[in-house]
Structures are given as structure tokens and as C-alpha cells.
Amino acid sequence: VGDSVTVSNDVIVGDNLTVNDQLNVGRNLEVSGDVSVSGQGSFDKGATLYADSLSGLALRANGRVEINGTTEVAGTAKFTQGLDVVNNTLTADSVDVRGNGRINQDLQVIGGLTFANNHRVTGIEDDYDLGGAASSHERLPTQKAVKDYVDLHASPFGFGGRTFTVRDQEAFEQVFGSGSETTIAPYTTILLMPPAESAQPNAVVVGNDPGIASPNEWPAVSSYVLKNSVRLSNGVSIIGFNIRTTIVVKERAEHRFIIEGSSAADTTYGVHCEGWTFNGGALEFQGNGGAFYLTHAENCVLNCAM
């Protein structure tokens, strides 16, 4: 056929059909062989393609395929090269990406993100209190929120120096040492919280109380163990908040705190210790300053129990 063909009813072709121009079929079109259309093909009632019994191929397009309406694929669609979607893509179920993924624009996540270790994150917050009492493992803080938290809770205790918060024996040894004499840098602030776990096998007791006949009747409390002597530099503050529950004990008799300047003209000054107990127990140091040794020191406050 060299020109247009219009058929109002069915068309049945026993062999090949070649149309060089338009082909319009009002009803069904059945071709047993190949179909070649050089122009346009129009189907008012839709077209059903059956796969070849040998190759399984139902439709091959060597050129461009343009679909202006809705396309529904009941099975799996495979693209060996790429898929370019100009507008939105809507996926009713899950999306499984086997390779690397890259997003060039913003990504909006309505639900949560689950990582390889099955840890789920549901959001990012700018709360400077980091959630407070309602903090959760599923929320991440912003950089600014972490900075605001540190500035609010830690920085006011320092004076241009570092600030440490000690809650257990491991953190205690990181600050005060684990066996060798340690020097605390100038203007360091150390907050001693009641220890979270006991480093002592036996009960630790401290002080006297009018209602208790013997110190040994005190209940057992956890303590920090000082494993070496510690030198305190200018402006160092070691602050606790309860002398009865924040206790430091010696591992050996010679372990102590040293506040020592080099001369009367070059003193160590401004050391402040308050709110905790240094308990030497039965370990008696043979010399001066078994708990605190001071020489060439001035303007120091040792308002802690010894």
C-alpha cells in the first residue's frame, strides 16, 4: 500500500503488512507476519501485543518512542541504559537502589532514615538543650545546637581554659592520670560528679556525723581512685556538688595534690577546690602535705573535706 488505508472493520493479514503512509483501523488488526509502518499508526480501541513464543519479544522500537498518555506496566520494566524522568516520580511501595545514589537537588524525607546497623533516625533538631529530659537516640542535633549547648553548660565555668566533666573512673584517669604524675593545665575547670560506678571493692566512709557512733556505720558509696600525684596550675578549679557522695581516695599513701610555685616572686595562685572529699583512709603519708602540699601558693581556696 503506497498511500493511506482506512478500514472501518477488522483487518486480517495472513502474512506481512507494509504501509508507507498512514494506517487507520477502526476495529481489530491481526497480522500473522511482520508489520512495517513508515508513517503513523492509529488504534482507536487500543492495541494488544503478544510476545513471540520463541524470543519472548512483544515490542521492539529501534527509534524514539513517545507516549503522551498514561502508561501502565503490569510486570517488571528494565532499562539497560538510563531512565530520564522530566517531572515527578511516584512510587507506591519501596525503592531499591543497588548501586550508588546521587541527588543533585534537595531531598525531603517525610519518614525516617534507617542505616546499615538498623539504627533509625527520624529527624534533625536545633534544640540547644539537646532534647532535655525527652532526648532520644532517634534525633540528631545541628552543629549550632551542639555549640549552643556547650556554650550554655560548659563555657561559663572556664576562664579561657578547658572544661571537663567527670562521671566515672575512666574519665577521672583521663584527666588526673592513671599511674604517672600529672599536671593540670592553667585555668582548667573540672566538674566532679558523684561516680557512676565503684572502683573500690569495699565500702568507703568519710567524716563524722552526730547521729552515727562510728564512721564505719556509714553506707557504702562509690569513689574515684587517685593513682598518682597531681600538680595544680594557676586558676585550676575542681568543683563537686556533694562532699558525701563525691569522694576521691588514694591508691598509695604518697598520692596527693601539689600546689607549688617556683619562688616567692613566681607563685601558683587561684586554685579552687570545693564540694568533694579527699579521703586518705589508713594510708598515712610520712611527710608534710599528705592530702594537699602547698608552697609558694597564694589566693587558693580549698573548701573540700579531707
Strand partners of residue 249: 225, 279
Contact 248, 278 (CB under 8 A): yes
Domain match, 147 and 170 both: no
pTM for the full model? 0.48
Domain match, 45 and 184 both: no
Q: In total, how many domains does the chain have?
A: 3
**Which structural domain range is residue 165 located in?**
156-305
Is residue 104, in this structure, part of any structural domain at all?
no
Domain match, 130 and 44 both: no
Bridge-based pairing of strands 257-260 and 230-232 is parallel
- The model's pLDDT over 178-233, given as tens digits with 9 standing for 90+, comes to 999 999 999 999 999 998 754 444 445 444 444 434 444 445 678 999 999 999 99
- The model's pLDDT over 76-127, given as tens digits with 9 standing for 90+, comes to 777 887 788 888 888 877 888 888 888 888 888 888 888 888 899 999 999 8
d(CA 245, CA 247): 6
Domain match, 212 and 269 both: yes
